[in-house]
Amino acid sequence: MAADHPEHSTAGTYTVKGKEFTRDTRYITTRVTRDGRDGFPVEAGRYRLVAARACPWANRTIIVRRLLGLEDAISLGLPGPTHDERSWTFDLDPDGKDPVLGIDRLQDAYLRRDPEYSRGITVPALVDVTTGAVVTNDYAQITLDLSTEWVDHHREGAPDLYPEHLRAEIDEVNAVVFRDVNNGVYRCGFAGSQEAYERAYHRLFDALDLLEERLTTQRYLVGDTITEADVRLFTTLVRFDAVYHGHFKCNRTKLTEMPALWGYARDLFQTPGFGDTIDFAQIKQHYYVVHTDINPTQVVPVGPDLSGWVTPHGREELGGRPFGDGTAPGPVRDDERVDAAHTPLR
């Protein structure tokens, strides 16, 4: 991979500058808000969330949408797990077209927003169904806005994933988790030199060790309920042994060898709204097929054994109330169920 050459990952365009992985974070930052100050007011049925199950950044939005009960307010488009250099594609849908947007490539929705759009065609993307144009692909802000701007459309009993009195601590934890864990695994996997890789490797596992210590004595990352911080860490942890440990060379320790983090990840996986959004087959297909610079044969590993994800975790002993004063989401909609063969939740 040549220095400064643009490539694509599940979260957009990146470059390798001085052999160091650098993510392009120049997203479309238009927001959908209650007051519509950016020209896009909250309106049930107007927007479609395009979010591939394979992508950890998109997976966050699928989880939050489900926890908050926004399925009727915001429809969900699901591209397949692989894409080419141009765009994510809707190859899982009949005739290879999204049934609502009528397009076969997510790129089309970006070009409707900006005919000269030249950055990464990323998921998640919130698309205005009335125009077919992307409103935003700012994944970090999308989930926060689902919690704070879409309140009028939350289900009865929806949890508060971004409680006001904990926001400063959540933001602080999220910053560390993004830098050293969510993005840290990518810095390991796409490092352009031994030195860059080892720096990323040590930062990743130093952060995981701190999280292991933190989660040894508390059930969730911030406070005693599930918050945005848990959603953001979970989507990396659930992919760790299946992808990052081998494919991205994050191989000091498996998740299953870190007791607190493994118990924490299983606790969340078994919580409605988390594990029922995870498609391990699509996750592996995406990373091992798309990243041909890392895996030129495109051979997808058979393992690991997934049965451990549904074993008892014992985290209840630490207390905590998963949904606070709220309740668990109901059953997954029939048209949004993960293929039973792709998950240990059956």
Q: Is 13 helix (H, G, I), strand (E, B) or coil?
A: strand
Between the CA of residue 143 and those of 150, 195, 240, what are the distances in Å?
A: 10, 35, 22
Which residue shows structure tokens 């004595």? Answer: 217
Any alpha helices (H) in 165-309, and if so which ranges? 167-177, 184-189, 194-217, 228-239, 245-247, 259-269, 280-290
- C-alpha 322/C-alpha 169 separation (Å) is 18
Cβ contact 7:13 at 8 Å: yes
3-state secondary structure 76-102: EECCCCCECCCCEECCCCHHHCCCCCC
Active site residues: 55, 186
Dihedral in degrees, nearest 10, Cα atoms 134, 172, 167, 224? 110
Residue type, 129: V
- C-alpha 86/C-alpha 72 separation (Å) is 31
Annotated ligand binding at 150? The verdict is: no
What the block records as the tokens of 320 is 């905590």
- List the binding residues for glutathione: 88
